[in-house]
Structures are given as structure tokens and as C-alpha cells.
Amino acid sequence: MTAREDVLDYGMTLPDVYIDAPFRDDNWVLLRCKKNGRAFAWTYERNGNMCVNVKVDNEWRDFWRSTYEAVIPGYHQNKEHWNTIILNGTVPENDIKRMIAESYDLVKDKR
């Protein structure tokens, strides 16, 4: 998984999700839950790489960061609760999907 479309396509397989581009900068495209409008995946290009920010459970935050060099504290977000995945081909697709799905699970029932 190295392209924005890969992230968006996967995210849209989750229940009640929509794509949003809420900023004047069209580099940022988000996946949100319809029920509450909360974003669970923020896609953007940075330093020549496509990236996705995902919400992360504190118990897993450091595991992902220590397992993959391409998982770092969330760019432009609370580094305690968000990770950035640099989509450079070094993180296996199944782990990227797992992190996106876990992010979705963390926000879907929030008000």
C-alpha cells in the first residue's frame, strides 16, 4: 500500500464511512465516520511520500513506532494519540490495514 487511493479504497470498505477534503489545501483528504463526522485516517503527501495519520490506542502506539521506521508520531496531530504511517512500501499492507481499522474502531462510537 503506497498510494492515497489504496488507503481511501480500503477505508471505504468499513461501515458508514465517507471521504472528505475539508481544507483549502487539497493535499489533505480524510476518511470520516458518517455517524459522528470524526476522522480516522488523514492522507497527505509530505517530503515526496504519501502518508496516512491514524488514531492509535496508547497500548499499541510505541509498538508500531518501534516495529517500523515508517511509523512515526502523528504529523500535525497529538503525538500521544496519533501515528503517521509513511507509505513507502516498508510496512506490510496487512499491518497498514490493521492500523486503519483500529483507528476506525477508536473513533466510530465517539460523539
H or E element that contains 83: strand 82-86
Domain of residue 71, CATH code: 3.90.1150.30
If one counts the domains in the chain, the total is: 1
Question: Distance between CA atoms of 107 and 28, rounded to whole angstroms?
Answer: 19
Q: What is the pLDDT along the chain (111 residues), one digit of tens a residue?
A: 899 999 999 999 999 999 999 998 889 999 999 999 999 999 999 999 999 999 999 999 999 999 999 999 999 899 999 999 999 999 999 999 999 999 999 999 877
Domain span holding position 99 = 4-107
- Its pTM stands at 0.95
H or E element that contains 65: helix 58-67
